[in-house]
Amino acid sequence: MKGKILVTGGTGYIGSHTVVELQNSGYEVIIVDNLSNSRADVVDSIEKVSGIRPSFEALDCLDYDGLDALFTKYQGIKGIIHFAASKAVGESVLKPLLYYRNNLVSLINLLELMPKHGVEGIIFSSSCTVYGQPDILPVTEAAPTKTAESPYGNTKQINEEIIYDYVKSGAPINAILLRYFNPIGAHPTALLGELPNGVPQNLIPFLTQTAIGIREKLSVFGDDYNTPDGSCIRDYINVVDLAKAHVVAMDRIMEQKQDEKVEIFNIGTGRGLSVLELIHAFEESTGVKLNYQIVGRRAGDIEQVWANPERANKVLGWTAESSIEDTLRSAWAWQLKLREDGIQ
């Protein structure tokens, strides 16, 4: 065993895939999740995929005493991967204080407890939203952060700064900030995937729900952007590739290979795809036709952003490997499995 890792938000979409990859790599995993946006039976699915049942505690990271007791119960946790957060951009605009409380206080609690319990490192799940609309594409880690378009995006920026300031103050911890681009797809077994509550906020679950008939049609927000086909461009990364980036980042912390106590890496493919290209790729790779319509632009949407992942490629030794076709087929297989299981 490589050591014990606490994964907050570990029954969520990215969290559950990361738990599997950590287990495959030899880490012992403890999940903490308040199940506000996920289901407890995800733990069963993780066990089916990896053959190992992770420890699970239903707990809110806002509960300082509860977290303190958890670190005491599971002696010897060496690293944390912090996914637990409220994450709907639109909702954050309507409920900013909820987002600031959930996303900031949960991190502060963990950071405060790390030295007390001898936890060496933390990986923070950040986002390309911190770049806003970049001046230069593809975007590198040296690009300036810009004023956030939403309270959600702002919590990512503030949390990065909290980690920097805490380490600068002399805290005996190390950190890696992973700035993800747009995670999509599902596990190739179709046992794990994205299961949003209610109407999906993200493109791919809405797209697959439209393809299977849950939603009437998919709206494409704007076809008058300054892009080749007029629709927004994003860097879509396979969720399993993304999960593997967390494993190599944790290895780097545990093996004390960091050049600095806080490091930042962009986690993307380096390829920008437009929304319309993604729709056509889905239709071609699955053979399923989509009912979609062009509507007006959506407030707060960035025109185009994709990663320069060279630093992650060279320093972490990590590369996104999955093709967009395989990734979209995995998302469709997951949607079909949900239908088969009577979930959606």
Active site residues: 152
Cα–Cα dist 224/163, whole Å:
39
User: Which structure tokens are listed for 184?
Assistant: 């999509």
- What DSSP designation does 144 have? P
Q: How many CB atoms lie within 10 A of CB 336?
A: 16
User: Which structure tokens are listed for 61?
Assistant: 């990271």
Handedness of CA 19, 21, 24, 26 (dihedral sign): negative
Cα–Cα dist 31/143, whole Å:
33
How many contiguous H segments (helices) and E segments (strands) does the chain have? 12, 13
Q: What CA–CA distances, in Å, run from 287 to 61, 75, 108, 208? A: 43, 51, 47, 13
- What DSSP designation does 130 have? G
Residue whose token pair is 């911890």: 173
Backbone torsions φ then ψ of 63, nearest 5 degrees: -85, 90
User: Which structure tokens are listed for 60?
Assistant: 């809110």
